[in-house]
A and B are shown apart, each in its own frame.
Chain A
Amino acid sequence: NAGVTQTPKFRILKIGQSMTLQCAQDMNHNYMYWYRQDPGMGLKLIYYSVGAGITDKGEVPNGYNVSRSTTEDFPLRLELAAPSQTSVYFCASSRRGDRGGSTNEKLFFGSGTQLSVL
């Protein structure tokens, strides 16, 4: 099982460049998330999606955009890279669940993308 696949694993950008972080899951999960992890900090939610065609902002959405055209894919776009966006980015997914049906409830994470903006 591939699970959640993120590409690339590492990337260096110059200020003002743009790029797309790719994320794909093969578990037919409804929910997908993008987090960033800064040194010494926990994970901050950037954007999330509850299904194809539906996205919403998290805690730190400024400077990012997302789309969800299919259940499998949830790319994260940086339009004008800034040094403040230097971070490790994680994509995650989960089943839709509630108290009755989520005995396997958990987030499945990708392996992360280390992004440096210089």
Chain B
Amino acid sequence: AQTVTQSQPEMSVQEAETVTLSCTYDTSESDYYLFWYKQPPSRQMILVIRQEAYKQQNATENRFSVNFQKAAKSFSLKISDSQLGDAAMYFCAYRRMLGTSGTYKYIFGTGTRLKVLA
């Protein structure tokens, strides 16, 4: 069964510094998507970044980038120049296709709470 593990329940970073959130996953599939979602206190789930497993190039979105290590099944999120607005829960998620039916499911990790210190 696929699992997603976030081993850091909580992280802190100084404003303007860089922080890396860890995520590992377990799968026997070769074709899948990985995501990082941000959940601020408003509870809204916001997509931060997405990685397609067949792409070797690491995804980047402005101050957010990933380090995707497919063989190691690792998908960490790096936030550069941290801002107070980055404070939130961050969830790593894995999506896989089920057979050829087009059905797919998302599996979420337990989250990492990021605190940004002024």
Residue ranges of A at the interface with B (Cβ–Cβ < 8 Å): 31, 33, 35, 40-45, 48, 50, 56, 58, 88, 90, 92, 96, 98-99, 102, 105-107, 109, 111-112
Q: Given A42-B91, A42-B109, answer yes or no on A99-B45 (Cβ-Cβ < 8 Å).
A: no
Report the Cα distance A31→B95, complex, angstroms: 13
B66 to chain A, nearest CB (A): 15
- Asked if A98 and B103 make an inter-chain contact with CB atoms under 8 angstroms apart, the answer reads no
B26 to chain A: closest CB distance in Å?
Answer: 14
User: What is the CA–CA distance of A102 and B4 in the complex, to the nearest angstrom?
Assistant: 22
Of A44, A58, A107, the most chain B CB neighbours within 10 A belong to A107
- Residue in contact with A106 in the complex, picked from B50, B54, B107, B108, CB distance below 8 Å: B50
Chain B residues with CB under 8 Å of chain A are 4, 6, 9, 31, 33, 35, 37, 42-45, 47, 50, 52, 54, 91, 93, 95, 97, 101-111
Cα A45 to Cα B108 in complex, Å, equals: 9
- Are B111 and A107 touching (Cβ within 8 A)? no
Residues of A within 8 A of B4 (CB): 42
Q: A40-B111, A42-B109, A92-B45 are in contact. List 7 more A-B contacts (CB 8 A).
A: A41-B111, A102-B33, A107-B35, A107-B47, A107-B93, A111-B44, A112-B44
Structural contact, B50 and A105, CB atoms closer than 8 A? yes
